[in-house]
A and B are shown apart, each in its own frame.
Chain A
């Protein structure tokens, strides 16, 4: 009489699974993993084609003298010449300074306005949903549309902005130009950007405020903490990680800002509001200096990436506290 032992049982199972996997390999049945890869493969291929390959190609081009308007000239490998040209170009440093000033001013203003709006919206009041929707509207517009219609609003002779300012200050409306004066143009782009993106900061802050448990405020009230004390000791510390997240997102976006500023001021007057993204676009698609602009793009990428990494480490430390 034949007895099936445990080891026989294990052998039988091993043999069955190897038959099954051989069958799967021969395509008579696809495994879940294979099916998943098949569905994800087109996306990966697209990502490689439109993200990774251009990035690697751009790194390669940054070491060359390629200028598409003079593609008949022989292509030379120039090593780090493009990078050193950029890093020793006074104009580029001026543009980086302009961009830094824009990022710092606009993000600070957006955080102040956005957080204030979040504090207001966090309370329940009549028409709460309606006003929340109205506040969110600017964020839903395209930056190009925003640039265009604010250009109209800022028109010194017919634009309502100058008229409103003149009502409050008595200054004649056509005596100043928000987009045309060196002193005012930088603040103009900050103002428009804040108008558009403060609601975004508000949403992030609102998520933070709503995550604070009520019992903490109840405990504070029991301890007779004033409203200011509650804000300073409870609300603000607990909202800081969200605020920092909003700062990170907005700073990265504003570093890359192009369309709204290009339409509003074209980088003018002169080069007063020429952000580094506008310089990059001009170098790449108007001057056709492909090698140079690839190097500039890499420098900007490394700058943002490095800064963002340091910031995220700081953010994690704050969250742990």
Chain B
């Protein structure tokens, strides 16, 4: 009896184990088997241009028979998500439209496929693209002929304003009476502040409005991408142009400190309440809801704003980032498209890049709402008239400047986020102290990287 009870128990145990093994094996077997047929996955941020790219990608599928899948992630998690993916040598993405600042890390860590040979073979010349986009999105090291991406989405910080408010006779008269000049889109930051102060708290159509919207986001890159637009124009430089990584006196020059102070003054005097942690979407919401007279944001959003039924069309105007007392630059945005080194479908991915580089495709990309970096598109005679913001976009791309694109860019960015937000929003210390601490932070990062940081 003992023998038969034992046998029954052991056969039950054996059957259960066999069942588990069977389920596990079938799960393993079904995974790879499900991915049949030619397909590419393209990873990017989830925003308007991504929708345009999906539309454009249908042409590629028609021509090549390769189906396009997309993995779009909101901007707030974009770097987190995809840098994690690249760091862990994941196979999710075949193509990636990575941020311009990733290019150093991507090249050094071999996350991207180097494209020099491919460009040479397919006669794709980087001379055909806007130089700032080649340097910004494609090259590492900078200003060398080593290409890791095709410029895909040209972008920069620009400004929108309520053209309908600016053209009201009563508002124009009030401004002229106060400031002795006509109300017009500002050419300098002093003018912008004057206009912002003028509109701050004013009642328009029974509603209280505010002067300006600017980036203050803490978590990812927001406040840095905003403040650099002012800092550059007050004489801020990342390092000594003659001595790389010498930051003392360039990052924390007295002029740069004045620039940082100005950004804080503008934030305190002329923005809507509650904008302490605001980036792209909050700006769009503030502008579309008629809260602000002027809005800082990326050109990428301007096609959608122009089409907006409430604030678009004749109601919206655009202007280039204003100049400061020392210089006239604007923060470069935008991305290049790269082939991920761990992809099992590199050949197909390269086919996509070859297709995307064609002038006809680039033209359609612009028409659908993307921003082409191809000279043939942006330097065509009809381009300035092709969209209301086209002239400002062209002018901006000629004056762009970018953040560090070093492999350690994330550390450098987070250090700047902290120091700038601490000063501008949290009222901690002085602007000079904030920039002095930033030099210390950045020196430490470069030191860990093995780069020689000259003190003077």
Contacts and interface: CB of A to CB of B under 8 A. Distances in A.
A116 interface: no
A156 B410 contact: no
Contact of B418 (A20, A32, A271): A271
B386 interface: no
A52 to B, nearest CB: 21
B422 A270 contact: yes
Given A69-B410, A157-B273, A182 B426 contact: yes
Contacts, number: 121
Task: Say whether chain B's binding surface is mostly helix, strand, loop, or mixed.
Answer: helix
Given A35-B9, A286-B80, A70 B108 contact: yes
A278 B219 CA distance: 10
Contacts of A266: 217-219, 277
B410 A73 contact: no
Nearest to B286: A157
A299 to B, nearest CB: 19
A180 B276 CA distance: 5
B274 interface: yes
B191 to A, nearest CB: 27
A175 B407 contact: no
B218 A267 contact: yes
B56 interface: no
B422 A271 contact: yes
B407 A270 contact: no
Given A69-B109, A157-B274, A269-B421, A29 B7 contact: yes
B411 A73 contact: no
Interface in A226-272: 262, 265-272
A29 B418 contact: no
A289 B411 contact: yes
A267 B417 CA distance: 11
Contacts of A27: 10
A20 B80 CA distance: 60
A282 B418 CA distance: 11
B84 A29 contact: no
B428 interface: yes
Contacts of B217: 266
Contacts of A73: 449-450
B367 to A, nearest CB: 36
B426 A67 contact: no
Contacts of B6: 24, 29-30
A276 to B, nearest CB: 15
A66 to B, nearest CB: 11
A26 B411 CA distance: 60
Interface in A265-320: 265-272, 282, 285-289
Contacts of B411: 69, 287-289
B3 A29 contact: yes
Nearest to B445: A287
Contacts of B79: 286
A20 B20 CA distance: 29
Interface string A20-57: 10001001111010010010001000000000000000
Interface string B417-456: 0100111011110000000000000000000111000000
A270 B9 contact: no
B294 to A, nearest CB: 18
B273 A174 contact: yes
Given A180-B277, A269-B276, A270-B425, A68 B408 contact: no
B173 interface: no
Given A268-B426, A286-B79, A72 B108 contact: yes
Contact of A30 (B3, B10, B273, B275): B10
A38 B275 CA distance: 58
B426 A70 contact: no
Contacts of B19: none
A305 B116 CA distance: 54
A180 B13 contact: no
Given A156-B274, A267-B219, A270-B428, A288 B9 contact: no
Given A35-B13, A270-B421, A69 B83 contact: yes
A287 B17 contact: no
Nearest to B275: A180
- A29, A42, A174: most-surrounded residue (chain B CB, <10 A): A29
Nearest to A287: B411
B414 A282 contact: yes
A16 B164 CA distance: 101
A71 interface: yes
Nearest to B79: A286
B374 to A, nearest CB: 31
B98 interface: no
Given A30-B10, A70-B407, A38 B422 contact: no
A155 interface: yes
A193 to B, nearest CB: 19
A194 interface: no
Interface in A175-199: 175, 177, 179-182
Contacts of B276: 177, 179-181, 268-269
Interface string B140-162: 00000000000000000000000
Nearest to B13: A35
A69 B273 contact: no
B1 to A, nearest CB: 13
Given A70-B108, A156-B273, A174-B273, A288 B87 contact: yes
Contacts of B83: 69, 288
Contacts of A67: 408, 448
A65 interface: yes
A38 B13 contact: yes
Contacts of B108: 70, 72
A262 B273 contact: no
B272 interface: yes
A179 B7 contact: no
A265 B218 CA distance: 8
B219 A70 contact: no
B105 interface: yes
B408 A70 contact: yes
Nearest to B107: A72
B87 A180 contact: no
A266 to B, nearest CB: 4
A288 B80 CA distance: 10
A269 B425 contact: yes
Interface string A154-166: 0111000000000
16 contacts: A29-B10, A42-B20, A67-B448, A68-B87, A69-B408, A70-B108, A73-B450, A156-B273, A174-B273, A177-B274, A180-B274, A180-B275, A268-B218, A268-B426, A286-B414, A288-B410
The 3 A-B residue pairs with the shortest CB-CB distance, nearest first, are A270-B426, A180-B276, A29-B6
Given A271-B422, A287-B410, 5 more contacts: A29-B3, A269-B218, A271-B418, A282-B414, A288-B411
Interface of B: 2-3, 6-7, 9-10, 13, 17, 20, 79-80, 83-84, 87, 105, 108-110, 217-219, 272-277, 291, 407-408, 410-411, 414, 418, 421-423, 425-428, 448-450
